Amino acid sequence: MTDHDKQRDDRTGRSAAAARMAHQHTWVDQQIRIAMEKGEFDDLPGAGKPIKDLGASHDPDWWLRKLVERERIAVLPPSLQLRKDDAELDDRLDELFSEAEVRREVEDFNARVMRARYSPQDGQPPLVTMPRDVDETVAAWHRRREERRAARAAAAAAAGPSDEAGRSGRRRWWRRSRP
């Protein structure tokens, strides 16, 4: 005999859990009535407007379609996705901070290109994306990084002295001289 069987209601002979489940709908209805009396359902977004796509035909994957629309997910064939990734690769690399991360990203891209190259491509656009030379891509990343650094230094020099203490008239705690 389990604990569940021991906890029987003396009046009905049913278990206490079964009794709670039988009366759960009344509790939910009561909570909704209380919320309506408080006005918690007033001025909800979309109130008084028809529900979009309510009369449309039944689609079992409606939730997936809504997710794709809401999250703006683009599902492309591998050849087109690789073309898009190739076009955006330099911008993605410019966000990385170390050469090891850049190398890892380029090697991952090359692995995806090679995997797509050896996969069957029935009815898909042709794969024209080529793997990138890792060393050349890393060298180009270094050049772009130095150009950005030089541009920031030139902009800072053109802006004038950047001494915060000189502008505000008081010395910051990290610039205080020690006795």
pLDDT at 175: 65
| Percent share of the chain, pLDDT over 70 | 79
Could you state, in order of their start, the residue ranges of all structural domains in the chain? 78-156
Whether pLDDT at 77 is above 90: no
Give the confidence band of 23 by pLDDT, cuts at 50, 70, 90: confident
- Least confident interval from 82-86, 151-155, 168-172: 168-172
Between the ranges 63-72, 77-86, 118-127, where is the mean pLDDT highest?
77-86
Residue 77's nearest CA partner among 16, 135, 129, 18 is: 129
Question: What band does 1 get if pLDDT is binned at 50, 70 and 90?
Answer: very low
pLDDT at 165: 45
